[in-house]
Every structure is written in C-alpha cells, then in structure tokens.
Amino acid sequence: MAKKIRVLIAKPGLDGHDRGAKVVARALRDAGMEVIYMGLHQTPEHIVEAAIQEDVDVIGLSLLSGAHMTLIPDVMELLRENGAEDMVVLGGGIIPDKDARSLKDMGVSMIFGPGTRTDEIVEYIQKNVRVADE
C-alpha cells in the first residue's frame, strides 16, 4: 500500500467563514489525499493534539479574522514543544505580506492568499511532503 499524504485542515480562533477551508479540503481529497477536517473554532492546543494523533504530514490553517499573528505562532510553539516541527504548516486567508514574512521566519512553509488556485496548493504539498521516512 502506497503512503498517502495526510493533511489536517482547521480554522483556529473565532472567525465563522469556513467556505474556503472546505473548498481546499475537497480539492486535496480529490487529489488523493486523506484530509482530516476539524472545522471552525479550534484552539492551537486542539489543532496540535489532533495533528499528533492523526500523524499528519501537513497542517493547513485558515484564518480570516486577523488573529493570525497570535494563533499561528501558538501552533508553531506547541508543535516544537511536542517534537513535531517536521510537519509542514500552511496558512491561508487574509494575511498581509509583512505578516506572511514573519510567519515564514517562524517556520510556516507557505501562505496562500486570496485568489490562490487549489491546484497550486495540491502541487505545493506534493512537492514538499516527506515521502517515505519510515
């Protein structure tokens, strides 16, 4: 059985718009990945615990609320604490370029802004995920 890429999709914090996250989740599924969908209102603790239990390769965080400079760094910190910094973290939503640069400095792999095509995300994941380290 070939390894399947496993991706966690979550919306940290309090924003209520999950259309984009659902579109991405579906596109990744259609690209043959296993998508663990957590949905709205997730805390960084919930997200990291789920990522560990599900042994995902990628964590996709979608934020439209403006709280990305608090919540995404919290996720990165918790991943480090749990020895899971090898997971690829992607951000999406309304995130200004300046913030995107700081987030990348903290270890976020890529930020996908509005207008990103889903196949760009699929391609990025396929290129950047550890294929077989077991």
Partner 1 sequence: MSDASMDLVSRILGGDRRAVARLMSMAENDVPGVKKILAELHTHTGRAHIIGVTGPPGSGKSTLVDKLTLEYRRMGKTVGIIAVDPTSPFTGGALLGDRIRMNEVALDRGVFIRSMGARGHLGGLAKKTGDLVKIMDAFGKDMILVETVGAGQSEVEIVGTAYSTIIVEVPGLGDDIQAIKAGILEIGDIFVVNKSDLDGADETARELDAMLDMNPNDSGWRPPIIQTSALSGDGVSRVVEALTEHMNHLNETGNLHKLVRARARDELRNIIIDHIRSLVDARHDSEEFETLVDSIVAGELDPYRAAEIYLKTLEG
Give the CA diameter of the chain: 42
DSSP three-state, residue 34: strand
Q: Give 52 or 94: the residue with its C-beta nearer to partner 1.
A: 52
Minimum CB separation of residue 98 from partner 1 in Å reads: 33
Q: In the set 14, 23, 70, 82, which binds partner 1 (CB under 8 A)?
A: 82
Q: Does 76 bind partner 1 (CB under 8 A)?
A: no
Please report whether residue 30 would count as binding partner 1 according to CB under 8 A.
yes
26 belongs to the binding site for partner 1 (CB under 8 A): yes
Strand residue runs (E) in the chain: 6-12, 34-42, 58-63, 88-93, 110-112
Choice between 35 and 111, CB closer to partner 1? 35
- 74 contacts partner 1 (rule: CB under 8 A): no
Residue 92 CB contacts under 8 Å (≥ 6 apart), including other chains: 20, 21, 24, 60, 61, 62, 63, 111, 112, 113, 116, 121
CA 24 → CA 62, 107, 118, distances in Å? 10, 21, 6
Q: How many residues bind partner 1 (CB under 8 A)?
A: 32
Give the interface segment with partner 1, choosing from 48-56, 66-74, 91-99, 112-120 (CB under 8 A). Answer: 48-56
Which positions touch partner 1 (CB under 8 A)?
1-4, 6, 25-26, 28-39, 45-46, 49-50, 52-55, 82-84, 132, 134
